[in-house]
Structure 1
Amino acid sequence: MIKPNSKSTPVALTIAGSDSGGGAGIQTDLRTFAFHCVHGTSAITCVTAQNTMGVMRVDAMPKEAVIAQIRAVVEDIGVQAAKTGMLLNQEIISAVAQEVAALKIDTLVVDPVMVSRTGAQLIDDNAVQTLCNELIPQAAIITPNRYEAQILSGLEIVSLADMQTAAEIIFKKLGIKAVLVKGGGMSGSLRGVDVWFDGEKLETLTTQQIETKNTHGTGCTLSAAITANLALGKDLWTAVQQAKEYVTTALTYSLDIGKGQGPVGHFFPLLQK
């Protein structure tokens, strides 16, 4: 991977879909990068028509266009870290995996967007298999939610012990450096509790539960914050801890906009000043 000299501004790349409502996807990734003082670049995989009420339409970008965006950024500007979000289909997933390998993007965060927090599968089974076989093994860390962790581990997850076991299974099965099983889809006291495993350390990350219906974009924000922290040169565990804190604060300042589920609020560093 081409990297600028040490005096340059840190650069992060997001490879994901566009959210017209601005609450998730490319828009929230770039916003998260900016509030970490990291320059954000992007490769758009699909364009969605969506708002706080839901998604009305999704149009995939041609794989050639996705490849061209990635190369344009990496070959000129260079990136210290990259993340993937919604890749939409098998063709795009395979193309992205090939570019990550060819361009030696070795600091990669994969948010394996396969299933929504409510349990709805977002990509087909062939795309899931390609994601597991071609892209995830190149990741430094993956951040599956409860339902994605169930697919990746083959284990039904209903308890903290299940989350911990799933994290260990996913780590061993997919050959990654670390896995963070997210608890946003869990209920009761486990809501928002995440489990980390890196082959040695099994940790439970717990923060204050924020009571708000406006949680759109939390998964994207978390993976983007991890990516930004890695671009800043932080180690993986520190990057995850600080990203978790960032998301919790963003939830505290979530935006009550639209008629449905609003997004988390990224303005808090400005508001606190």
Structure 2
Amino acid sequence: MKPIQFDYPGGHIDGLEWGEPGELTVIAVHGWLDNALSFAALANQLPEIHLIALDLPGHGLSSWSPSGYPIWTPAEAILWVADQLPQSVHWLGHSMGAAALTLAAGAFPERFASIVLLDAIGPLVQSPDQAVSTFRRYASTSVRSLFSGYSTPEQAIAARLKATPAVTPTAIAPVILRNLEQRDQRWWWRTDPALRRPSAFRLTEPMVEDFLRAMSVPALAVRASNGMIPEAMFCARFECLPMAERLDLDGHHHLHLESAGAVILARYLNAFWERTK
């Protein structure tokens, strides 16, 4: 594992790299408040893959976005990285990363060799009659915080586990530590506080379905049995994908962080990428 960095307007996108160029290359993008290390367990099960996991803007070691974090911000970051690669490569996205991939690959399918969507198909949506209330909630929420830091990294891990109790401490700890920095004897989040601000606007369901229908690349849609995507929504959106396979796995939303989940997932991913070379 070694660090890697890409140019990004006004800053940089950092990441981690496993394997060597020349092997099949996969770029992985994480979920909300995670970072590149969320793919470490999976990378260990993919020794034949050249895997690059990114810190999306505002996460991990990457630069913050001055324009906030609507879902098109990580989608644009994905396209920015894609432009710096010598050829179209395979992409893997989890949660928010998967949602951003559907926008990027729907708009520019020619830049992607294949897409894996891990427990997400497209972004969260709103109905047209929710636009006013959604914007009102956004405008009423300040990015200021009374957060005073943690005495130890263990306190940060405990706080994260309250929000994602299904994940084991061993699995989530490296991800959290990459999102922390020490200042004045305290531990603070590196992540941009603006990430926690509500969305000003969201796409509607018909808009998301249009992006999915335009994803004319081989895709593997993975649904976790105890994940976050309702079966009805997953099925409806899956039907929009023109070149997709579906995979159902036992586990929670972050199953790829756990060693057992990574072993099982890697087997299916290797087979999928072998078919889409």
Which bin holds the TM-score, normalised by the shorter protein?
A: 0.3 to 0.5
Q: TM-score, normalised by structure 2?
A: 0.43
Larger Rg: 2
TM-score, scaled relative to structure 1: 0.43
Question: 1 or 2 for the larger relative contact order (CA 8 Å, sep ≥6)?
Answer: 2
